[in-house]
C-alpha cells in the first residue's frame, strides 16, 4: 500500500537513528533526521512547562509562605507550617474523610454499572447506536446543569426523590443536611455523569476480545454469566485498571458537584460533604489564604500519586499472579 504510507499516523515510525538498510530510499531530504521529532514535540512540552510545571512549582513555593490574596506583597515565610497545620486542622480531616467516602460511594457503583451496561451493549441489539449515544449524553451535560437538576430532585420539601419515597411510606430524607444522605446525593450526580463514559470505554475494550473465545466458551456450554466472568473480565483487565485509575484521580479532585449542590464552598452547614478540592477552594478563594490552599493542593497531588501507585501495584501483582497460574 504505497499510497497509504505517509498517511498512516498510527503505524509506529521507524526509529530515525536506526541504521537504515542502504537500499531504502531516503524518507526526508535535507534535515538531520535526529532532531525533527523533538521539534514536533516541542510545542507540547513548552506548553506543558508553562501551564503544567510552572504552576506546580509556583504552588509549591507559595505553600511555604503565609500568602494572602488581599495582601499579596506581604509573603511571610512559614516553612512547612502550612503542611503541619493541616494535621491539627479538623476541617482538613473532615474533607479528607469525605473525599474518601464519596470517592467510594461514587466510583464503585459507577464502574460496576458501567461494566454491566457495556456487557449488555456488547450483544447484538437493535438501535445499538442510539443506546450508545444515549449513554454518553450525561457525560456531555455540564456539571452545573446536572448539579442544579439534582439539587432540585433532592430538595427537602418539594424534591422528586422525597415525593417518591413518600409514596412508599418513607419519611422525607434531609438530603442537604444529613451527612450520609448528602454524600449519597452528591455521589449520585457523579455516578450519573460518568457511568456512560466508563461504559463506552469498557465497550471498546470488550470489542478487542476475540470473538473466537466466546464461540469456544459457548461450544463448551458456558452460560452468558460464565462467559462474562471468565472471558470478558480477564480480557478487560487493562481497561479496568485504566478506568479505576482515572476514576480515582477524578474522585480525589471532586469539586464541581459538591460546590454546586447547594452553592456553598463549605460543603453544607457542617462541612458534611466538603471535599478536599472544595476545602482548598474555600481556603484560597473564600478566605483568601493562598499559602494554605497551595499546601492543600500539594497534599492532594501527593495523595493522587500514592493512590495511583497503589492501583498500579495491585494491577501488576494481580497479573503476575495470573501469569504464574
Q: Which stretch binds other proteins (CB under 8 A): 2-10, 21-29, 102-110, 259-267?
A: 259-267
Which residue in the block uniquely carries the three cell numbers 513555593? 61
Beta-strand ranges (E) seen in the chain are 65-66, 76-77
Which residue, among 278, 286, 306, has the nearest Cα to 92 in the 3D structure? 278
Which residues inside 292-321 make contact with other proteins, applying CB under 8 A? 292
Q: How far is the CB of 115 from other proteins (least distance, A)?
A: 37
Distance between CA atoms of residues 153 and 184, nearest Å? 13
Q: Which is nearer to other proteins, 30 or 324 (CB)?
A: 30
DSSP summary character for residue 272: T
DSSP summary character for residue 5: G
Under 8 Å CB-to-CB from 289, ≥6 apart: which residues? 66, 67, 68, 69, 283
Q: Which stretch binds other proteins (CB under 8 A): 34-42, 97-105, 119-127, 210-218?
A: 34-42
Q: Which is nearer to other proteins, 143 or 213 (CB)?
A: 143
Q: What are phi and psi for residue 141, nearest 5 degrees?
A: -70, 145
Report yes or no: 65 and 291 within 8 Å, Cβ to Cβ.
Answer: yes
Q: Does 289 bind other proteins (CB under 8 A)?
A: yes
Distance between CA atoms of residues 154 and 199, nearest Å? 26
Q: What are phi and psi for residue 6, nearest 5 degrees?
A: -75, -15
The count of residues interacting with other proteins (CB under 8 A) is 38
Q: Which is nearer to other proteins, 70 or 129 (CB)?
A: 70
Q: Does 288 bind other proteins (CB under 8 A)?
A: yes
Which residue from 73, 79, 169, 324 is in contact with other proteins, where contact means CB under 8 A?
Answer: 73
Which residue in the block uniquely carries the three cell numbers 453544607? 268
Q: Does 93 bind other proteins (CB under 8 A)?
A: no
Angle at 47 between CA 16 and CA 35, to 5 degrees: 20
Distance between CA atoms of residues 247 and 116, nearest Å? 17
Which residue from 8, 14, 35, 125 is in contact with other proteins, where contact means CB under 8 A?
Answer: 35
Which residue in the block uniquely carries the three cell numbers 464519596? 102
Strands 65-66 and 76-77: antiparallel
Q: Does 43 bind other proteins (CB under 8 A)?
A: yes
Q: Does 285 bind other proteins (CB under 8 A)?
A: yes
Q: How far is the CB of 146 from other proteins (least distance, A)?
A: 17
Which residue from 112, 269, 302, 313 is in contact with other proteins, where contact means CB under 8 A?
Answer: 269
Q: Which is nearer to other proteins, 74 or 322 (CB)?
A: 74
Q: Which stretch binds other proteins (CB under 8 A): 39-47, 138-146, 240-248, 314-322?
A: 39-47
Which residue from 91, 139, 214, 242 is in contact with other proteins, where contact means CB under 8 A?
Answer: 91
Residues within the interface to other proteins (CB under 8 A): 35, 39, 42-43, 46-47, 49-51, 54-55, 58, 66, 68-73, 89-91, 155, 157, 174, 177, 262-263, 265-266, 269-270, 285-289, 292
Amino acid at each position: 500500500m504505497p499510497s497509504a504510507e505517509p498517511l498512516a499516523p498510527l503505524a509506529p515510525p521507524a526509529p530515525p537513528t536506526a541504521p537504515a538498510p542502504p537500499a531504502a530510499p531516503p524518507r526526508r531530504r535535507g534535515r538531520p533526521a535526529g532532531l525533527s521529532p523533538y521539534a514536533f514535540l516541542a510545542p507540547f512540552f513548552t506548553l506543558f512547562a508553562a501551564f503544567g510545571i510552572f504552576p506546580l512549582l509556583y504552588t509549591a513555593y507559595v505553600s511555604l509562605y503565609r500568602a494572602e490574596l488581599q495582601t499579596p506583597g506581604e509573603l511571610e515565610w512559614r516553612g512547612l507550617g502550612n503542611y503541619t497545620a493541616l494535621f491539627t486542622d479538623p476541617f482538613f480531616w473532615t474533607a479528607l474523610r469525605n473525599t474518601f467516602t464519596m470517592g467510594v460511594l461514587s466510583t464503585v457503583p459507577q464502574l460496576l454499572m458501567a461494566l454491566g451496561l457495556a456487557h449488555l451493549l456488547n450483544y447484538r441489539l437493535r438501535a445499538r447506536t442510539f443506546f450508545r449515544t444515549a449513554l454518553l449524553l450525561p457525560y456531555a451535560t455540564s456539571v452545573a446543569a446536572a448539579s442544579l437538576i439534582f439539587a432540585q430532585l433532592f430538595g427537602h420539601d418539594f424534591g422528586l426523590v422525597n415525593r417518591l419515597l413518600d409514596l412508599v411510606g418513607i419519611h422525607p430524607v434531609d438530603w442537604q443536611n444529613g451527612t450520609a444522605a448528602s454524600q449519597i446525593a452528591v455521589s449520585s450526580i457523579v455516578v450519573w455523569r460518568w457511568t456512560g463514559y466508563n461504559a463506552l470505554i469498557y465497550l471498546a475494550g470488550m470489542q478487542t476480545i476475540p470473538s473466537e473465545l466466546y464461540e469456544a466458551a459457548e461450544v463448551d456450554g458456558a452460560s452468558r454469566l460464565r462467559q462474562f466472568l471468565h472471558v470478558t473480565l480477564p480480557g478487560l483487565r487493562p481497561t479496568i485498571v485504566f478506568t479505576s485509575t482515572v476514576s480515582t484521580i477524578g474522585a480525589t479532585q471532586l469539586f464541581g458537584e459538591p460546590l454546586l449542590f447547594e452553592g456553598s464552598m463549605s460543603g453544607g452547614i457542617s462541612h458534611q460533604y466538603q471535599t478536599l478540592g472544595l476545602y482548598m477552594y474555600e481556603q484560597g478563594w473564600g478566605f483568601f489564604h493562598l499559602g494554605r490552599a497551595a499546601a492543600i493542593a500539594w497534599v492532594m497531588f501527593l495523595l493522587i500519586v500514592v493512590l495511583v501507585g497503589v492501583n498500579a501495584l495491585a494491577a501488576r501483582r494481580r497479573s503476575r499472579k495470573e501469569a504464574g497460574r
